[in-house]
Amino acid sequence: MHEFADFQRDLAQALRDPDHSPAGLNLAGLSVYRNTVAKGLIDVLRANFPTVERIVGEEWFAACASVFIRANAPKSPVLATYGDAFPGFLRSFEPAAEISYLADVAQVDALWSEAHFAADGLSLDPIGLQALALDRLLEFSLPLHTSARIAWFPSPIATLWRLNRPPAATPTAGDFQIDWRPEGIALSRPHGAVVATTLSAWQFAFLEACREGLTFGDAMSAGMDGADDFNPDSLGALFAAGLFAAVEPPCSTSTDEHSPFIPSGRQTQ
């Protein structure tokens, strides 16, 4: 059994890496299979990181992906999320050094896949919040939706990602001006399709506090402490994006009519 497992590992590595030449394998006969495996894995990376490919072009991406797949075998027969190490790879890939934001864009592509394939879950009905007294509102925690993914970047990655993510039209230099400042992004799939939301510093700090389990009131305070860009629409945009999960009442008393503890009745697909 041990020898067969070794053979399987050698064969898999030889199919990905032409420089790997284990004894006992007919390397000449592997060439056609090696090309098929390489093309298949590169195509998977194209599908999982379409924004990266849009930025660098097909030829550059294929050359980069061919280097990546030699050292990164699939961890699962399900290839939908293959390439979880690709953003980290790009950070140390010398030819990518001149595109300082490329690895961060790859990270957002990976987060999009995570949100897309995350477990289903009921989302919070924001209408119910309007029926709660302020003291009740401040006392309970708002867990993030099962599909919610958030990240903060030192550059306008959310804007760059949105401009280049297919099927958006390829942008040209004259089409836009980018304010080069830090941005966050949130991705969620509350009702079957992934929703991307560009985050201000306050919104990210609020969501991060919610993810850590803080109460609504404490999360609001954390946001205020971490940023000075709060406005009334900032909070509403987070609820509209379906970033919060339906939650149980914090006590055994009956909930208000239209309570946020009662899910909207729509299950993600």
Predicted confidence (pLDDT) per residue in 50-59, tens digit? 999 999 999 9
CB distance 99 to 56 below 8 Å: yes
Over residues 232-269, the pLDDT tens digits come to 788 889 998 999 998 754 443 444 444 444 444 444 33
Distance CA 177, CA 193 (A): 28
Over residues 212-233, the pLDDT tens digits come to 999 888 998 887 765 667 777 8
Q: What is the pTM of this model?
A: 0.81
CB distance 166 to 111 below 8 Å: no
Distance CA 190, CA 58 (A): 32
Distance CA 220, CA 244 (A): 15
